[in-house]
Amino acid sequence: MNRELLMLVEAISREKNVERDVVLGAVEAALAQATKKLYPGEVDIRVALDRDSGNYETFRRWHVVPDEAGLQLPDQEILLFEAKEQIADIEVDEYIEESVESVPIGRIGAMAAKQVILQKIRDAEREMLLNEFMSRGDNIFVGTVKRMD
C-alpha cells in the first residue's frame, strides 16, 4: 500500500505537471480529513507522511493558548498551565501532539481523499498558471480560450 501510494503521487505529479511536494501535501490533508471524521467535535489532526517509504503517522494536536485568554475551541486548544504539566518548556502558540491510530483507507475514505487531492491539485495548477502570466508583466497576448473555471 505504501509503495503504491508513492507511485500514485509520482504519476499524478508527472501527469498534472505539479511538484511532488504539493501532491504529498494534498495526500496528507486528505488523510487528516478522513481521520477527523472518526472524532466528535472539531479536532485538529496532522498527518506526517514519510517521503521515502510512504508510511504515515497521525497526530491529534492542541494549540497552546495563554491562561487568561481562555479556551475558544476546547477540542483544539489547551491552556498554558495544562500544557506545562505535560511539557515543561512549552510556550504559547506552540502545539502539543498526541499520536493517534491512523485511519485505514476504506472505500468511503478513499473517495473523500480523492476529492481533497483533486481540489488541491486544481488549486496548484491555477496558481502555476497565474504565476506564469504574472511573470509576463503588462504585455498583450492574442490567443484562444480553451478552458474556463
Of the candidates 78, 108, 112, the residue with the CA atom closest to the CA atom of residue 94: 78
Predicted pLDDT of residue 43: 92
The predicted structure's pLDDT at residue 108:
64
pLDDT given at position 63: 92
pLDDT of residue 109: 64
CATH superfamily entry for domain 2-134: NusA, N-terminal domain (3.30.1480.10)
pLDDT in tens, 111-132: 777 788 788 888 888 888 888 8
Q: What is the pTM of this model?
A: 0.73
Instruction: Determine the Cα–Cα distance for residues 53 and 122; give it in Å rounded to an integer.
Output: 26
φ and ψ of 95, to 5 deg? -125, 145
- Is residue 27 within 8 Å of residue 5, measured between CB atoms? yes
Measured between alpha carbons, how far is 149 from 12 in angstroms, rounded to an integer?
A: 20
Contact between 67 and 80 under an 8 Å Cβ cutoff? The reply is yes
pLDDT at 62: 93
Segments of the chain with pLDDT less than 50 = none
